[in-house]
Amino acid sequence: MQNWLDPKSLQASTQGLFNGIDKVSESFEPWFKAVARCQLEAIGLASRRAQAYMELPAKLGACRTPQDLAREQIGFWQTAFAQYAESCGRMFDNCRALTPPWSLLSLMAEGERKEKSGKRERDYMPVRESAEEEQAAAGKSSRRAA
């Protein structure tokens, strides 16, 4: 008779359980990596912006004319916008890799790829492309305004 407390009898069931836990944790690994990349990008953006804010008083103090002041302010906000846009794009790319192919994010990305490659789908509604075509179409009309 086999003892039910024997470790060998429980080994198969516990081994299967732990294998399942390993597979589940491996399936979430891409999600955790993407979240970590997004957090790293957010920390980098905050660091770059904090550095720019710390440099701002010295730059504004060196301004001699109102034009210099305006130039520094415009440059500051342009840099801020560029850094925010770049970081948001990287975060979006990290999150987009996790979405299934039928999701809205994946469909938006596919549309962007088509626009960049120059293969845009045309509408089914006919649209005249130039003023000459419009004038030619108006000349063909048999009805005239009173």
Return the pLDDT at 78.
97
**Lowest-confidence region among 52-61, 63-72, 106-115:** 106-115
Q: What is the per-residue burial (b if ≥16 Cβ within 10 Å, else e) of 69-78? A: eeebeeebee
pLDDT in tens, 3-42: 666 667 677 777 777 777 777 777 788 888 888 999 999 9
pLDDT in tens, 92-111: 888 877 776 656 666 666 66
Helix (H/G/I), strand (E/B), else coil: 70: helix
Return the pLDDT at 26.
78
How many Å is the Cα radius of gyration of the chain?
31
Stated pTM of the model: 0.55
Q: How confident is the model at residue 46 (pLDDT cuts 50, 70, 90)?
A: very high
Contacts for 42 with CB less than 8 Å, ≥ 6 apart: 87, 91
